[in-house]
Chain A
Amino acid sequence: MTRRIDGLFWYAVLFVLFLYGPMMLMPLFSVNDSNFATFPLQGFTTRHYAAMAANDSMMAALRNSLVLGLGVAVVANVLALPAALALTRYRVPGSGPILAFMMLPLVVPSIVLGVALLVIAIRVFSIPLSLWTVAAGHLVICIPFAVTVLMSRLEGFDPSLEEASGDLGASGISTFLRVTLPLAMPGVISSLLLCFIISFDEFVISFFLTGTQNTLPVFLFSQLRFPNRLPGTLALGSLILVGSAILVILAEVIRRRGVKPEGGAL
């Protein structure tokens, strides 16, 4: 019995190493005093971080990605919330097919989406490629995620709460602002974080739809041709790694806190 648990324990250790080991090399090489990401290590330095901060085009790409992620997250949620409300609160005719259709971007390979959106942007609407076209592409893949997360939250609370609000004199808008939105807030926040990360992380669609302003993943990809710039990339990568870990943990904490006390009360 104990032997089996031991075996499983070592399996788990290997599993985690396999998953996160490669990523852990990134912070390690980012403080290695060498221009090449190879062993043996040469000694500690922070110069790659300084080089990163001094790299204007990299900082511009980072800024583009942050603004893009934020904007996409907000717009995706503004669009997804009414849809999620309609699908959970009302008997919408054909809600099954509508939902399936909305979830389609989740399963279509992003390279197919990227090519299709490129064709639409250039051939059909003749829109010049820019951050706006990238944003539109990111919205397509973020909305299904936002709808899913928001729907699970909205289904989680008693619909008689909204009926009670109306019964006590509140109009539809007032009920939304005073009851629905506060109760859906944990879902809204985790959906915002999720959409931000999806957009920040997205490469394929961005690669097809980007104009002169690069997003960070596209910029980093373009830098791979220059080996001496790799340590700066590693420095940035390390920072992003830490940042995303914090965001994901935050989202999970908020989601759990939002679910728990209410689950106990109802």
Chain B
Amino acid sequence: MTQDPMIAIGQVTKRFGSVTALEEVSFDIGKGEFFSLLGPSGCGKTTLLRILAGIESPTTGTLRIDGEDMVGIPPNRRPTNMVFQSYAIFPHLNVAENVGYGLRYKGIKRAEAQGLIASSLDMVQLSGFGDRQANQLSGGQRQRVALARALILKPKVLLLDEPLSALDKRLREEMQFELRELQRRVGITFVFVTHDQEEALTLSDRIAVMSGGRVLQIDTPETLYDRPASRRVAKFFGGMNLFPGRLLRVEGGIGVLDAGTIGPLSGAVDGPGMGDGPATLAIRPERIRMAAEVGSPGLAAQITAISFLGDRRQYVARIEPGGQSVTIVTPVTGDPAAAPSQGDRVSLSWAASDARILSD
């Protein structure tokens, strides 16, 4: 971000009675960014979104949108619009009336409004749906109406509160693609709340991983996936194999972890500042090499389960000393008979640079 940020969140804390929903959250969101707030339910991501919208106000802290101070400004006077989780389609109005709801507050005349509504419906592929009643729409259509209703007002920031969670899997994937396309086309900053890590990885330019009212890490999907900064972030991007232990030493960016009965394991350590103490080694299932012959260097393990995923095979193996389960994913190639089968003994290894040693 070389230019000024679109949203600047400074030390925002929100308390509901004795419950702290957000604790000193600070970060910037760039202009035109597709930014996701990712975390389990109750992590404060929706509260933060509602603070951006002005529906909730922060207990302490500052908020600037496009350089303007937003504290104390009500939702109807903010340059933000929101797509609600329930979509909040007005049930007593038809589709066109829903989409055009906010136009009068922008001082747009009736004649001009008709054209805007038509082109907005067109943008979300609902042309000709203007006369439909809200209760005649499917879930996907309701979502499109909610999008059109917000985007027609040309907000500087569009806020989306888990908009895809109510849709079935197929429709969700379709809408993910459409949403991304739409965002590129209109160039508006999107702030997207989700608890679905895959959704966040697919859609976002950057992701803020939240937990317990705090931001754990903000990075691009690639960085978060490959180089999580802590064990908690790694755990959230499911499927990672985690080996708890103690960091013994670090040499040239490669650390050695004492993983108890499993023995010493090596992995990359990002940056200085990690002393010896409790740490976790994280390795992605697809980065583990699996060799059939016993005796080669690596961890001895026995395969306990295999599942076929089309283009990949997923193995679960139990490491011999200690009994910890490890997940391994390999591409499906060539002769299926050559692949290890259940009960086979294998040896597992990885390049030290593919594994990461993380603090808690």
Contact = CB atoms under 8 A, between A and B. Distances in A.
B55 A169 contact: no
A247 interface: no
Interface string A17-60: 00000000000000000000000000000000000000000000
A161 B102 contact: no
Contacts of B75: 163, 166-167
A164 interface: yes
Contacts of B81: 167-168
B91 A168 contact: no
B149 interface: yes
Contacts of B149: 168
B22 to A, nearest CB: 19
B76 A169 contact: yes
B35 to A, nearest CB: 19
A222 to B, nearest CB: 48
Interface in B103-122: 105-106
A262 interface: yes
A163 B134 contact: no
B88 A163 contact: yes
A158 B86 contact: yes
A158 B92 CA distance: 13
Contacts of A265: 89, 91, 134-135
Nearest to A174: B105
A249 interface: no
Highest count of chain B CB atoms <10 Å: which of A174, A182, A265: A265
A88 B35 CA distance: 34
A136 interface: no
A79 B231 CA distance: 57
Give the bracket for the number of chain A residues in contact with chain B.
20 to 34
A265 B82 CA distance: 20
Interface string B143-164: 0000001100100000000000
A166 B76 contact: yes
B135 A167 contact: no
Nearest to B84: A160
Nearest to A185: B92
* Main SS at interface, chain A: helix
Contacts of B82: 163-164, 167
Interface string A207-251: 000000000000000000000000000000000000000000000
B84 A171 contact: no
A261 interface: yes
Contacts of A166: 55, 74-76
B350 interface: no
A262 B135 contact: yes
A160 B105 CA distance: 19
Interface in A153-177: 157-158, 160-161, 163-171, 174
16 contacts: A158-B86, A164-B88, A166-B74, A166-B75, A168-B101, A168-B105, A168-B149, A168-B150, A170-B105, A174-B105, A178-B101, A182-B92, A183-B92, A262-B91, A265-B89, A266-B86
Given A157-B91, A161-B88, 13 more contacts: A158-B86, A158-B88, A163-B84, A165-B90, A166-B76, A167-B75, A170-B76, A170-B101, A178-B101, A179-B90, A261-B91, A264-B135, A266-B91
Interface of A: 157-158, 160-161, 163-171, 174, 178-179, 182-183, 261-262, 264-266
